[in-house]
Amino acid sequence: MRIGIVGAMDEELVPIRALSQSLEKIVKGNRIFWRGDMRGSEVYLTRCDPGKVNAVIAAQQLLDFFAPDCLFNMGSSGALSPDLEVGDLVVVTEAIQHDFDLTGWGMKPGEILFDVKTAEKGGLTFASRQVFPTDPKLTELAYKAAGSVELDRLKDRSPRVHKGRIVSGDQFIGSLEKASQLWNTHQALAVDMEAAALAHACQINNVPFLCVRAMSDKADHSANVSFTDFLAAATHNYGRVFGALIQRLGH
């Protein structure tokens, strides 16, 4: 199997690269890719940087250059659900672009238009989609893989693994008011800046998509854990989950 992996930060890709044999650096234009062999799978990784446009550009280039059979995204997110603690993992089942807003047209929050045309008698015809799902088989495999490995502890607490919805937008959600509004509107477990755009790109390209996110903060911002401490534990956990997932994909 050929697997593509996109992460917003290079640090999030380091533990996955460490699993590779015969690691090779590939430069195309201004982007760096890494190729490695992992338990019989050919893996291509690249950093996208934060934001939906950055994510989609990186994903499309990876898909066009290397034609992977599926695309993975691993990274950090902010918790929206009050049940999530720092370090908890969310295996994403579906994603919504929360900052896409056509509610003035009577659309749902995050609902996106496709195939927009002018109708013969005036007005517009179009298709629409609000929710972009991840691949069910990959999601279930990743959920089982995450539950099968020992995860690094944070503040004497073992992270838990959840499945559910994520919302994405080109905004850093730093206020309790905005976080509460997203939770009340979408009932999403977490918020980030890339996942929904990547899910959208994969759906357009008919490529299975998987997303696993670690929570960098609590919904009420009350966690007393530094981002450095979080990132160290989270990146190790990504590596363990990915290693267990690769083993399951080989069976």
Of the candidates 146, 138, 157, the one whose C-alpha atom is nearest the C-alpha of residue 210 is 138
- The reply to whether 111 belongs to the active site is no
| Opening angle at CA 170, ends 45 and 202, nearest 5 | 45
Q: Are 7 and 44 in contact (CB under 8 A)?
A: no
Catalytic residue among 10, 11, 12, 88: 12
Residue count of the chain, please give it: 251
Q: Which of 85, 88, 111, 217 is catalytic?
A: 217
Longest dimension (CA), the chain: 65
> Is the distance from CB of 6 to CB of 72 less than 8 angstroms?
yes
Catalytic residue status for 12: yes
Q: Where are the alpha helices (DSSP H) in the chain?
A: 14-17, 52-66, 136-148, 176-186, 195-205, 227-249
Q: Which residues make Cβ contacts (< 8 Å) with residue 27, sequence separation at least 6?
A: 33
Q: How far apart are CA 219 and CA 167, in angstroms?
A: 14
Residue entry with tokens 């062999």: 37
- Residues with catalytic function: 12, 217
